[in-house]
Amino acid sequence: MATDYDLILKGGKVVDPSQGIYGDMDIGFKDGKVKTISRQISAATSEKIIDVTEKLVTPGLIDLHGHFAHLIVPFRAEPDEANLPFGVTTAVDTGSTGWMNFPGFRAYVIEKSTTRILAFLHISAIGSCTVRIGIPDLEDFRLVRTKEAIDCINKNKDIILGTKVRLGPTGTTSSNTINALQKAREIADETETLVMVHVMESDIPLKEVFEYLNPGDIVTHCFHGDTHNVLDENRDIRPEVWNAYNNGIIFDTGCFAKHFSIPICRTVIRNGMPPHTLSTDRIGEDHPVAVKYTLLDVMSMFLEMGMSLQEIIQSVTSSPASVLDRSDLGTLKPGAEGDAAVLNLSDQPRKYPDLLGNEIIGRRNFTAELTVKSGKLWTRT
């Protein structure tokens, strides 16, 4: 028998910044989409009704920075296990593969995953394949082939968002930093796509990096504690950083290992410059670094460091959706993709280190109760 809905979530505390909603709501899903959001869905039939009273209900979470080319590139996470148990329904792979191995990533991982995976193409033809054997991504600049990268992006614009450049000694190396940024800008301009730059361990200051970025482009690991970070010698936010932040450059956290600093995060948030997007830089379980944060962990840390609940949810839903130019994601508007996260906010304290010798104790921590993907309750198979 036909039903009005495939699934109804009843009575949850809905937080949807895209619509300015914060309150008790019912949400109905049909044919993979959000059908209805209202105070009460009554006199309706549904294949499944779940009471989520007292739970937080948000749009499906978006992780703007992770690595998911599992078994194609070393140290890459299995996408469904790394995301769906934690309310993440859309994840962005940030430069695991280049134009030579992206087709395999698409065929064998992206198209076989329940998680919606989008991607930035690494500027190197082979992505980060050499990281496991200690060879920098662009030790040999012959790996940069502009025409082939442009062709790959143009053929896969439903998935590829732009070009990723990883600065630093394991990325571009100091001899190729400017050349790589120039080529990334060229590729982005030709394809009308974005540039994402890993700025941790950069050999040039942020002011020079910003010269190659347009509004909408992304600096990731934005609050690292290495040289050339966002603070000056007086621990004030640099004027050029404020200028970039206020003029459309996206500041993304990428909270892996030493790529973020708790003291710097506290300082910038206290001074009114929270990150635009929270993300994990999630990597595989085979990586030797022991601490691997989920997106819920990152959200819990930044809640403790001073961001409001609404800011936290916005930074993992509507804000990254805007970066991706996907109005159908990060929202519970009728007609949007039928993705939702049902979360708890517990009072059980938890320690979070940043691997720079600092730690934070989260007094309120997010955990996932349920994940809805494409209008269906997700369960492990």
Segment 152-166, tens digit of pLDDT: 999 999 999 999 999
Report d(CA 192, CA 176) in Å as an integer. 23
Domain ranges of the chain: 7-58+334-345+363-377, 60-324
CA 204/CA 86 separation, integer angstroms: 36
CB contact at 8 A, 38 and 65: no
Q: What pLDDT does residue 147 have? A: 99
Mean pLDDT, rounded, for 97-110: 98
| 325 burial level (CB within 10 Å; 0-12, 13-18, 19+) | exposed
Structure tokens at 231: 């603070």
* pLDDT of 286: 77
Q: Identify the band that residue 288 occupies on the pLDDT scale cut at 50, 70 and 90.
A: low
267 contact partners, CB below 8 Å, separation of at least 6: 231, 235, 237
Beta bridge partners of 360: 352
How far apart CA 163 and CA 221 sit, in angstroms, is: 16
Helix 295-304 × helix 262-270 angle, to 10°: 60
DSSP label at 21? E
Name residue, tokens 């992006």: 153
C-alpha 337/C-alpha 328 separation (Å) is: 6
> 3-class DSSP state for residue 189?
helix
Q: What is the mean pLDDT of residues 61-84?
A: 96
Average pLDDT over residues 106-113: 98
Give yes or no for residue 290 having a pLDDT over 60. Answer: no
Q: Which CATH number is correct for 7-58+334-345+363-377, 2.60.40.10, 3.30.1490.120, 2.30.40.10, 3.30.2350.10?
A: 2.30.40.10
Cα–Cα dist 28/8, whole Å: 4
Nearest to 336 by CA among 13, 52, 46, 62: 62
Tell me the average pLDDT across 89-116: 98
* Fold agreement (7-58+334-345+363-377, 60-324): no
- Per-residue pLDDT tens over the stretch 320-379: 999 999 999 999 999 999 999 999 999 999 999 887 888 999 999 999 999 999 999 999
Range name among 147-151, 170-174, 262-266 with the lowest pLDDT average: 170-174
The whole model's pTM is what? 0.97
CB 201 within 8 A of CB 167: yes
* Residues 183, 195: Cα–Cα separation, whole Å: 10
Share of the chain above pLDDT 70, in %: 99
CA distances from 264 to 200, 287, 381 (A): 13, 26, 41
Q: Which of 326, 274, 333 is nearest to 18 (CA)?
A: 333
* Model pLDDT for residues 219-263, shown as the tens digit of each residue: 999 999 999 999 999 999 999 999 999 999 999 999 987 788 999
Domain 60-324, CATH among 3.20.20.140, 1.10.3720.10, 3.40.190.10, 3.60.15.10: 3.20.20.140
